[in-house]
Copies of this chain bind each other. A is one copy, B any other.
Amino acid sequence: MIIVMERNATKENIQAVIDILVEHGFRAILHEGDVHNVIDALGDKTTLSPDRLEAMEGVNHVKLIRQPYRLASRDRKPEDTVIEFDNGVKIGGANRPVFMIGPCSVEDDYEGLLEVAFAGKELGCQFLRGGAFKPRTSPYDFDGLGEKALKYLAKAKEETGLLVVTELMDSSDMDLVCEYADVIQIGARNMQNFRLLKSVGKCNKPIILKRGPANTIKEFLLAAEHIMYSGNERVILCERGIKGFDSTFTRNVLDIAAVPVIKKYSHLPVIVDPSHGTGQRYLIEPMAKAGLVAGADGVMVEVHHNPAKALSDGKQSLSIPQFREVFTRLNNLVDTLHLERATVCSQVE
């Protein structure tokens, strides 16, 4: 840590900072500048929070050298994390990017869900996604079928072999959701619901953690850190669009650069969600491609057998014929480019 003192900090202020540093086992080195005095602190930050130093009199601010996440960091684990499922599907590392598809919410029409699942199976998708519990901005909107939806997903899995991804909104549903899901999703609005992160840190399923729309990459990695620190290291990060100043044409700004940035600083797999990331059906294809060439380990896309009748997010869902067209081209892109991690990663450091 580097502690920058106020220009009018007194000798006593400086000494107080040095004292607390020494007390916590740091080596403290004072550099006297023309305007600001600066203290270098070498030691283990876990024993003394920078927040405490920043609250001391005469301290202007504290600069950190190391990132505050550890388990999620490449500094600790240089090789890519690969998450493997019982049926042999793998996410991360040099593996072929995976596809996760399905409706925003699972609805009453099971046949429709199955139709989507079979189309997905045929197009080489590995995961069926669908919401049983839906976070909705307005209390007047449809918020999911609950356990019935989970049963539908499990049945569709039985028939197609696709792995099931579904969202957990509250720790009280964890046992229920774990019973049916192969991957548990934490939604963007819950990215900093720390109790929920702790809960899923204790379950034995991989977690898809969606980036909060106004969360920095550091906060995103720290949210993963919460899950990992509670015991579950199988975390898949999902970029799904950040809040921008222009919502005329897109719901969010899909931050494609987040993919290679996270890959540089963390070993965890990263996927992109162009449906929520843009909110527009016609942007799914170009943005899925953009994510893939930028190094994503997978793509999550909303597909509905009848978007115009979807109870949620129809506008950003592909119909089944559109899905076939788009994913044929995505498969081509992946095939042609031999899009394996090794070549996707930017080789220029």
**Which of B141, B194, B212, B294 is within 8 Å of A135, CB to CB?**
B194
Residues of A within 8 A of B (CB): 2, 4, 6-7, 16, 31, 33, 35-36, 38, 40, 42, 46, 49, 51-52, 54-57, 63, 65-66, 68-69, 75, 135-143, 169-172, 189-190, 192-196, 212-214, 216-219, 222, 225-226, 229-230, 242-250, 253-257, 259-261, 264-265, 277-278, 281-287, 289-295, 307-315, 317-318, 322, 325-326, 333, 336-337, 344, 346-349
Minimum Cβ distance to chain B for residue A236 (Å): 18
Whether A308 touches B55, Cβ cut-off 8 Å, given contacts A289-B293, A325-B347, is yes
Q: Is the CB of B286 within 8 A of A293?
A: yes
Q: Is the CB of A248 within 8 A of B293?
A: no
**Which of B66, B291, B310, B346 is within 8 Å of A283, CB to CB?**
B346
In the complex, the count of this chain's copies comes to 4
Whether A222 touches B293, Cβ cut-off 8 Å, given contacts A51-B314, A256-B256, is no
Q: How many angstroms between the C-alpha atoms of A56 and B282 in the bound complex?
A: 13
Extra A-B contacts (10), CB below 8 Å, given A36-B65, A249-B261:
A16-B308, A136-B194, A138-B222, A139-B230, A140-B229, A190-B193, A243-B245, A286-B344, A290-B293, A293-B333
Q: Can you list 27 pairs linking A and B with CB atoms under 8 Å apart?
A: A2-B2, A2-B63, A6-B349, A33-B42, A35-B75, A38-B65, A51-B315, A55-B314, A55-B315, A56-B308, A68-B138, A68-B140, A135-B192, A137-B192, A139-B222, A193-B193, A249-B257, A250-B257, A254-B257, A256-B256, A256-B286, A256-B287, A260-B286, A282-B349, A289-B293, A290-B294, A336-B337
